[in-house]
Structure 1
Amino acid sequence: MARYYDVHPDNPQPRAVGQVVDLIRSGGLVAYPTDSCYALGCQLGNQEGLDRIREIRRLDERHHFTLVCRDFAQLGQFVKVSNAVFRLVKASTPGSYTFILPATREVPRRMLHPRKRTVGVRVPDHAVTQALLAELGEPLVSSTLILPGDDEPMTQGWEIKERLDHLVDAVVDAGDCGKEPTTVVDLSQDEPEVLRRGAGDPSRFEY
């Protein structure tokens, strides 16, 4: 049975944040809110956690997970940000964007695109996510919480608790955080390419 944490969306209780992070560090899988929608997350290097996300969402091995980072500085440890795209990424973080960028050696090989050696990264603009990342001290490996057969992500923590009670270790409920996933932008090539239009305004990446 999943532990349930009802937290304030703007000022999450430190004790609850600490308990959730302890679960993550011990190999747990959590459902948590972001600035676009709820997501599933685990610690970087938690292979069992990735397998559980794949099982819950029925994803194949080709699915790429996202590294959710605390800030631009942490993001820069895991991806190579060229001078050409530095301003674009800096101006869009934190925000509802996922950027595809060349990975550094800090990223486990199984998370990379097999040919391009890229990875998706983002910095959410949500107080609860930021608190979890600050306490954890490293990125979360994450995937949008949308279940097989559903057209949209779930928006309420209590609903996630009901449906995933025996599949995740914790549900962090911060109320409705929307149901529109991030805007995904590939910045690994010469020109930005918007791969998915979502919660973030894509116009700054379209010429």
Structure 2
Amino acid sequence: MAKILVVDDEQVLVKGIKFNLEHEGYQVEVGYDGEQAVELAREGSFDLILLDLMMPKIDGLQACMRIREFSNVPVIMLTAKGEDADKLMGFESGADDYITKPFNILELKARVRALLRRSGAAGQKQSGGVLSIGHIRLDTGERAAWKGDKMVELTAKEFDLMELLMRNPGRVYSRENLLNVVWGYEYIGDYRTVDVHVRRLREKLELDPANPEYIRTKWGVGYFLSNRPEERER
């Protein structure tokens, strides 16, 4: 399991990032200023650090340079600034990647996966590979899906939703949970968004969408992936 440190003085943002990364299977610790970032990085054994540029006490650039004195841990800089000069300063300070606020949580998760993969720090759960159940198969590295031997086109959110369910068979997610994890903590949308995506996944992947074997509903609770398709709900 990859261990990630998230440091930003915006506590709501930190809470949202932590929530989403933990639902991806990562272990997450948090901090709220540059000095804390350096202290935590020195004390802990992290596989990746998300570090805000503008923070109290010392900024992200200084924190990154200090961390580089004792660690080669991958660092993604988070900042509200998007100028090329700021990006170059970040890279010169030792950052490995750079993402500008406000960002899509799916983009952040993709950057995290890619950087962990490149650094060789990703655990088995994040290292890609094939997930399968019955006739449904996902290649998480290629982001490709199959229904039997036929490739199926899924949108980015459909794929993320299906991957989440397949990684956690039997676990029931409320529509609120799924909005937070798949669409991101800042997403403002109707819970029917989840229902529509579940319906589309059933139409694309189930043999009988009207009587799904795997993408199931727990009435009054939410959705889950059944690993016991013979026990269908009545």
Task: Note whether the superposition's TM-score is higher than 0.5.
Answer: no
Using structure 2 for the length normalisation, give the TM-score. 0.26
Higher alpha-carbon Rg: 2
Would you tell me which structure has more helix in proportion to its own residues?
2
Higher relative contact order (CA 8 A, sep 6+): 1
Using structure 1 for the length normalisation, give the TM-score. 0.28
